[in-house]
Chains A and B, each alone.
Chain A
């Protein structure tokens, strides 16, 4: 009765058709735990690669620096005299700057604890926008913590943590969503990545007051970022094909393809 049954073909069918179709339709979050051992070894490899690349670049840089050293020496001597005069001016400016910083409360009075992290690696696939940073649960980094650039702009959020490293989704990734609003008119919507250099602001009606050049900031209802942090500038705001909603394209305030360091907001996440 079962003489035509071929076990190899059966397994082939399961492996080629059934399992890929099942995993394709499953929610990604269910798999993330299963990936953990592979992610750990991948992050270890990335750390090793990062250290190797840094040292190689450093060595090459030192060598090229040596070649140009003689020329630079003469130039530096001339500049030294000039710099000495400028230092005196900078000293007074420094004092003034410190006073202003204290007054503004940017550092001392900030209610948020920020952790500086180095970007180890970017996503391996061209369409995905994620980074791996050198801070993990050992440093108090947790899932869904927000990420800022060094200049304070929103750049992404943590999606997976390991002991020494974490994976963060950049706001430009097509799976990334941030609760945002317009700074001028206070209209709120969802900012979605498009895996390119732009973002898309959703849930706006045609009558909503959004104009080209408006600043987009984080909304007070988001769970990862405090309100009012800058994200991007409206590049275009037009009505859609059916004249019902607004099609808003937002440009991030800075390029996310060349991030070197980021700040993790450690004590804001509303869920934790």
Chain B
């Protein structure tokens, strides 16, 4: 029992570290090459929600929201609200249409590339006097899903390897 909890914790923080690396790369690596930064940190999050248990995913949403506050000035509450809605949407599709292959993960990756800025736009209108005006930036709306979709191939195999290394092979659909 204790070793299971320990493995789960190691697993949890390993993915936390992967998300942190993705977030650090956002602000340092991509701007250094004068490129727009794709939101790669969404990919490990999507992987966790899809291929791990409901509770593991739920706690990981909290960890991701907390980690983001170190790398961005986005308010914690706004960030948590957006991620929680994403979590609910992905869970909804996972419960109904899930098939355990890369193509499903790829589709989810493309979708969250659209959904994240969209939810941010909607929630910022409802919560702030100066809402985001990123909505009309159509280049961003095309660029993000395309880049996230491409990068999902690499992230999928990295996350799979992490799972194998920590001996978590089964796709968990139980609530």
User: Is A59 in contact with chain B by the CB < 8 A criterion?
Assistant: no
Known interface pairs A123-B27, A124-B68; A15-B58 also in contact (CB < 8 Å): yes
Chain A residues near B84 (CB, 8 Å)?
Answer: 16, 20
User: Is B2 in contact with chain A by the CB < 8 A criterion?
Assistant: no
User: Is A19 in contact with chain B by the CB < 8 A criterion?
Assistant: yes
Chain B residues near A130 (CB, 8 Å)?
Answer: 72-73
Q: Is the beta-carbon distance between A121 and B132 smaller than 8 angstroms?
A: no
What is the bound-complex CA distance between A173 and B127, given in angstroms? Answer: 16
User: Is B48 in contact with chain A by the CB < 8 A criterion?
Assistant: no
Q: Is the beta-carbon distance between B32 and A57 smaller than 8 angstroms?
A: yes
- Of A21, A22, A194, which contacts B130 at CB under 8 A? A194
B18 to nearest A CB, angstroms?
A: 12
CB contact list, B69-87 vs A, under 8 A:
69-78, 80-81, 84, 87
A109 to nearest B CB, angstroms?
A: 35
Chain A residues near B31 (CB, 8 Å)?
Answer: 121-122, 257-258
Q: How many A-B residue pairs have CB under 8 A?
A: 143
Task: Report, nearest first, the 5 A-B pairs whose CB atoms are least far apart.
Answer: A42-B70, A121-B27, A23-B77, A124-B71, A124-B26
- Please give the residue numbers on chain B whose beta carbons come within 8 Å of chain A beta carbons, in ascending order: 20-21, 23-29, 31-32, 34, 36-37, 39, 41, 54, 58, 62, 66-78, 80-81, 84, 87-88, 117, 120, 124, 127-128, 130-134, 140, 144
* Residue among B72, B127, B132 facing the most chain A CB atoms (10 A cut-off): B72
Q: Is the beta-carbon distance between A195 and B77 smaller than 8 angstroms?
A: no
Chain B residue at minimum C-beta to C-beta distance from A120: B28
Q: Is the beta-carbon distance between A24 and B66 smaller than 8 angstroms?
A: no
A196 to nearest B CB, angstroms?
A: 6
Q: Is the beta-carbon distance between B132 and A127 smaller than 8 angstroms?
A: yes
Q: Is the beta-carbon distance between A174 and B24 smaller than 8 angstroms?
A: no
What is the bound-complex CA distance between A101 and B81, given in angstroms? Answer: 53
Q: Is the beta-carbon distance between A43 and B70 smaller than 8 angstroms?
A: yes
Chain A residues near B67 (CB, 8 Å)?
Answer: 38, 42
Q: Is the beta-carbon distance between B134 and A195 smaller than 8 angstroms?
A: yes
Q: List 11 A-B contacts (CB under 8 A).
A: A24-B81, A35-B76, A38-B69, A46-B24, A54-B32, A121-B28, A124-B23, A124-B24, A127-B74, A174-B132, A257-B31
What is the bound-complex CA distance between A185 and B80, given in angstroms? Answer: 45
B116 to nearest A CB, angstroms?
A: 9
Q: Is the beta-carbon distance between A25 and B29 smaller than 8 angstroms?
A: no
- Of B69, B78, B81, B128, which contacts A39 at CB under 8 A? B69
| Extra pairs beyond A39-B70, A122-B26, A124-B26 (11, CB < 8 Å) | A12-B54, A23-B80, A28-B76, A46-B27, A124-B23, A124-B72, A127-B74, A169-B73, A193-B130, A194-B133, A200-B130
Chain B residues near A82 (CB, 8 Å)?
Answer: none
Q: Is the beta-carbon distance between A127 and B130 smaller than 8 angstroms?
A: no
Q: Is the beta-carbon distance between A16 and B58 smaller than 8 angstroms?
A: yes
What is the bound-complex CA distance between A20 and B75, given in angstroms? Answer: 12
User: Is A45 in contact with chain B by the CB < 8 A criterion?
Assistant: yes
Chain B residues near A57 (CB, 8 Å)?
Answer: 32
* Residue among B66, B70, B81, B133 facing the most chain A CB atoms (10 A cut-off): B70
Known interface pairs A124-B68, A127-B134; A175-B77 also in contact (CB < 8 Å): no
Chain B residues near A42 (CB, 8 Å)?
Answer: 20, 23-24, 67, 70-71
What is the bound-complex CA distance between A57 and B34, given in angstroms? Answer: 12
Chain A residues near B54 (CB, 8 Å)?
Answer: 12
B123 to nearest A CB, angstroms?
A: 8
- Of A120, A122, A125, which contacts B68 at CB under 8 A? A125
Chain B residues near A12 (CB, 8 Å)?
Answer: 54, 58
CB contact list, A1-44 vs B, under 8 A:
12, 15-16, 19-26, 28, 31, 35, 38-43
